[in-house]
């Protein structure tokens, strides 16, 4: 029996190389040895205001990018979260079960709500309960995510454990899987902040659909420091981040990379970095173009994914309802 993998991505903003290196790349690789379910989490996206037309378009764009990156609908289930209503039902039940104090400890809410705590939606605060439902409803064992999501996966695990100890064995305990390299790609304009879809600065992120010209220009402007040496030194976050991107796209070791750029300047390194990223993204961009030439194709794949996910989710929901004494 292969282990069950589940992960999700929000259909908001532009998908960037942080999403790719921290998550999508591993999802593609895991198709070999795991039983995979990947989800476009539109219900998570609406925790903050969204333009309806843009949201609808972004759902197809993200799906197309996942398929272009190598998610194979024959081997993996790919679907839209809102197409399987059991996620919302289980989220409600977990809402009534997760202690308020657990939710209040979530650091991402604190960061995202900023100084606007009274204005943001209850959904944004409560989002880890929906994420726990996404994970637990498929008896997930492994959740491949970037570093920023580790705390949420741990909350899902704690919830499963607490539920099982009260109602008896019900949920499988999930574990986060965080990559060794690439788990936290930082913004090009500010290497102390995680690269994020919600940041609007034009020089913040390299997006998967950026043209070669844009990629070259963004790397040329990326923030570094006034030193010269090209070394993996965590105390120099700008150059460290760029070197990490180079490492993941080139597949070379740290030592090889440091030797390659010995005595060279930041300008030369940034040019080489742009080329390795352009070449790395080229096949994905070409497949994306082919896929989106027929707009019905992606919708058909997503509809089939939901058909396959629904019975799996319904079974878990029924099990939980019985345990609680509903109906
Ligand atoms: P936002 O910052 O607007 O919430 P996001 O860029 O974090 O969006 P998500 O859809 O929330 O994007 O994340 C999809 C996946 O990408 C998650 O597994 C997340 O951990 C991972 N991820 C996001 N940003 C990075 C990053 N900078 N480095 C590595 N992995 C990342
Ligand atoms: N919260 C995640 C997306 C997400 C997810 C999930 C990831 C929603 N449900 C379940 C893994 C498993 C994010 O914002 N990146």
Question: Which domains does the chain carry?
Answer: 4-178+295-324 (3.40.50.620), 212-289 (1.10.240.10)
Q: What is the pLDDT of residue 99?
A: 97
Q: Which of 26, 37, 42 is nearest to 2 (CA)?
A: 37
Rounded distance from Cα 146 to ligand 2 centre (Å): 10
Q: Which pLDDT tens digits describe the chain residue by residue (327 residues)? A: 899 999 999 999 999 999 999 999 999 999 999 999 999 999 999 999 999 999 999 999 999 999 999 999 999 999 999 999 999 999 999 999 999 999 999 999 988 888 777 889 999 999 999 999 999 999 999 999 989 999 999 999 999 999 999 999 999 999 999 988 888 999 999 999 999 998 989 999 999 999 999 999 999 999 999 998 999 999 999 999 999 999 999 999 999 999 999 999 999 999 999 999 999 999 999 999 999 999 899 999 999 999 999 999 999 999 999 999 998
Q: Which atom of ligand 2 is nearest the CA belonging to 128?
A: 1
Residue 137 CA: which ligand is closest? Answer: 2
d(CA 276, CA 273): 5
For residue 197, which ligand has an atom nearest its CA? 1
From the CA of 41, which ligand is nearest? 2
- pLDDT attached to residue 110: 86
- Spatial distance between the Cα atoms of 297 and 303, rounded to a whole number of angstroms: 10
Report the nearest atom of ligand 1 relative to the CA of 147: 20
Rounded distance from Cα 255 to ligand 2 centre (Å): 34
Name the closest-CA residue to atom 13, ligand 2. 9
Q: Which atom of ligand 1 is nearest to the CA of 112?
A: 4
Tell me which H or E stretch contains 295.
helix 295-324
Backbone angles phi, psi at 51, to 5 degrees: -80, 125
| Residue of 147, 238, 269 whose CA lies nearest to 196 | 147
Residues for the chain: how many in total? 327
Residue nearest to atom 12 of ligand 2 (CA): 7
Q: Is 245 in the pocket of ligand 2 (CB under 6 A)?
A: no
Report pLDDT for 297: 95
**Residues with catalytic roles:** 112, 194, 197
């Amino acid at each position: 029996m292969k282990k069950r993998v589940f992960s999700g991505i929000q259909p908001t903003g532009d998908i960037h190389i942080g999403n790719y290196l921290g998550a999508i790349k591993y999802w593609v690789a895991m198709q070999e040895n795991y039983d995979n379910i990947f989800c476009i989490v539109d219900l998570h996206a609406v925790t903050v205001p969204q333009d309806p037309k843009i949201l609808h378009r972004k759902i197809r764009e993200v799906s197309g990018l996942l398929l272009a990156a190598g998610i194979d609908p024959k081997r993996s289930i790919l679907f839209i979260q809102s197409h399987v209503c059991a996620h919302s039902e289980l989220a409600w039940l977990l809402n009534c079960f997760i202690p308020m104090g657990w939710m209040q400890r979530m650091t991402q809410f604190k960061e995202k709500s900023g100084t606007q705590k009274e204005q943001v939606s209850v959904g944004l605060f409560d989002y880890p309960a929906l994420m726990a439902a996404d994970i637990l409803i498929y008896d997930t064992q492994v959740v491949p995510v970037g570093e920023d999501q580790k705390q949420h996966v741990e909350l899902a695990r704690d919830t499963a454990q607490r539920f099982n100890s009260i109602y008896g064995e019900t949920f499988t305990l999930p574990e986060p899987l965080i990559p060794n390299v690439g788990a936290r790609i930082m913004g090009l304009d500010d290497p102390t902040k995680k690269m994020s879809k919600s940041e609007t600065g034009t020089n913040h992120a390299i997006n998967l659909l950026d043209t070669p010209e844009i990629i070259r220009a963004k790397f040329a402007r990326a923030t570094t420091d006034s030193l010269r040496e090209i070394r993996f030194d965590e105390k120099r976050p700008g150059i460290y981040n760029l070197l990490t991107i180079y490492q993941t796209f080139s597949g070379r070791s740290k030592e090889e990379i440091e030797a390659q750029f010995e005595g060279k300047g930041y300008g030369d390194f940034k040019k080489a970095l742009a080329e390795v990223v352009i070449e790395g993204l080229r096949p994905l961009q070409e497949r994306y173009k082919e896929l989106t030439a027929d707009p019905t194709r992606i919708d058909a794949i997503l509809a089939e994914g939901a058909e396959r996910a629904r019975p799996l989710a319904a079974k878990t929901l029924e099990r939980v309802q019985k345990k609680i004494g509903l109906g």
